Structure 1
Amino acid sequence: MTAQQVRAGAHPLFDPLDQATLADPYPAYRRLRDEDPVAYLPDYDMWMVTRYEDATRVARDPAAFSSKIGMSPDFERREGPSTGVNYRIGGPKVRVLIATDPPEHQVFRRAVAKAFSPGSVGALKQRIAEIARDRVGALLDHRADGTSDFFSTVAEPAPVSVLAELLGVPEHMHERFRGWSTVITTDLDQVDGLPDGVGRGMDMFRYFSNQLRNAGAGERPTLFDAIGSAGEAGVSTHELLAFCAFLLVAGIETTTNLLTNLMGALLRFPDVQQRLREHPELIPGAVDEAIRYDTPVQALWRGTTGPVRLGERDLPADARVLVVWGSANRDERKFPRPDLFVPERSPNEHVGFGAGPHYCLGARLAVAEVTAVLSELLARTSRIEPAGEPTRTHSLVLRGMTDLPVRAVPR
């Protein structure tokens, strides 16, 4: 981006409305890390934190950098770039997991933690493998020209099926679930409260409400049972519904983005793709590296509870802070050769799932899903090639693709 292309008043190193920057933010992130690692963008009254050390400090200090303040309605009403997801899912005075601080954050987290434990994810392993086989099979059943869309065939439906399995949702409703995750990222930015005024999402909340009302009545435990039990800990009905809505974004959108970003990396580095086929023991490391290399959740908001010094900058109270995980994961101070995709990277202490009390609750499940899909893909193909230009999301927060044409050659 040349000096002439920078809008009047925008930061000279980063313009959050520049489409080229959003399509590939990593060169701009590098400039910020080198020249202004805690950067103030006056147009949007926001700070960007781009170095690994600073980002992890913010994430691990909720007393100074609050999630509740950072994602509050007062912050969201300010003029600024789209975050890609509106975290005010719950409406006024309705708490959601991602916008709470300890100790109330733990109330939500403990209520559903068992559903994401090693044992619970392990119990889903066979079903996850079946879903991966089915989706990769669909990818290989390509069009006459030999191409398929990885997004619509694999990356989008696979996480929907896994989350639906976790929730105990019947298969005939999976397509509706896919639509509902889109509702969360579009229609709900007009919501003033729940459940009124949710437009196309109304039937979603009716379904959630019915499932929570009948929690515990099924033949086997489901995640709805765990969510419903949070009501005993003082979580309101509206907050339970908001958590269900947030779960669709956290459990579907982010894993879909991770899958598309991983495929994008394999297309960009065909030598890595072949090395993984020859050495499948590297697959777990490749999944970790995909999370670091092209992070699906690029950034999250925090708000300062008082004046605080970060790096060499003094931030005032009530400052809106964007913690840029995508930049922290490319910080050369932490990761040698950060712009290369290295499955053997060790240690790989990425912050693709966040850090501190808000470390992603579903990280274990996401890794299991992506590992199963990647293993199946590599086992059943001799090569995968790009078959057209992908369509990138343009968001400060969520990074992925909504169209990814590939040519997968079966073995």
Structure 2
Amino acid sequence: MNPYRFRFPSSRKLGFTLVELLVSTAVLAVLLLVTLSALETMQRSWRDTKGKVNQFRGARIAFETITRNLSQATLNTYWDYHYAATGSNVPPADAASPPAGYVRQSELDFRILPGVELGTGETPADLPGQALFFQAPLGLSQSYRGLGNLLNARGYYVRFQSNEDQRPAFLPGGVVPVKFRYQLMEYRPPAEQTSLTAGTAAAGGSASSKTVQGNTVYTRADWFKQDIDAVSRPIADNVLLLVISPQVPPETVEGTGKSPWWLAPGYRYSSRDANNTTPALDKPVVRADGTLDQGTSHLLPPLVRVTLVAGEEGSMGRWLASQGNTAVDICAAADAPFAESRHYERDLTRLKDYLTAERLNFRVFTATVPLRNAAWDSTTY
């Protein structure tokens, strides 16, 4: 044999062993599991975030509607005589009696009152929190377009009721199930419906053929109850509470000993009241020096803090079902009466604790709205 004969390399094939294949498959499976787990976590987080946003979308839109319309509230005040004998600008029978002086006057009204005062025989459970009513140039008309400065009344309050009357009439029964919910109601009579029979507004008054036409309807004490059921519509479901607090800028009360909510210590406010510390409508007072003290009469509050508490549909449905689909006085149950403005933070904390204990998914919307037509100055504060 020739020792120098050329030899080819071995033809043995190279490859992975079964053990190597199993190890690589296991590593790849672990990597895929980690990737899928991370992707699932991201998807779940996105779905939860999107769900939370959609849960309170209606309440958020309604809240923005309230704050936008409220900022346009007006009283359109003017100066007129004030007669001490009649407590108004109406001259007394004795024509020789001179007026006590000039005061602000307005036929319009800005009103905040307990919601329960809107109903007849209804309880705070059915009409929780406060109700807000005002006039603004919102241009709502049934017959005309392009009249954006038409004066309209607007109001907001919460009512517990079923959706039975709100379901489309053309759908057969059972398609839209009956459910009971707290709803945020918007009172919005068109400009053409600002008149009422003269005898219907006065307590105990009898019907009369005489009508009060146009914006003079706002001079009546209960103008905001006119056709309230007919011209109110729900703008958001699952709104548990509406709290309205008139205030002044904090810097204006520094060193005065007053609080920003001194305007309405009990949340109640009427632009026809000289002193909103009591439910009674106080008239201007003639001071000892002969000048007039009109207080807050015919003035819009400079600021209004609006708080809206909204629940999520799923948890609200379960909670109300456990209550037999009946109204719950949540303020009493939470020991959060919202009766004194100075206890606002305490009452809100108690309400949150109560809703959390009831396992309700909720959200609180709060904003302080400046009223552009509030004609206050340093002497008024």
Q: TM-score band, normalised by the shorter chain? A: under 0.3
TM-score by length of 1: 0.25
User: Where is the strand percentage greater, Structure 1 or Structure 2?
Assistant: 2
- When Rg is computed on C-alpha atoms for both structures, the one with the higher figure is 2
User: Where is the helix percentage greater, Structure 1 or Structure 2?
Assistant: 1
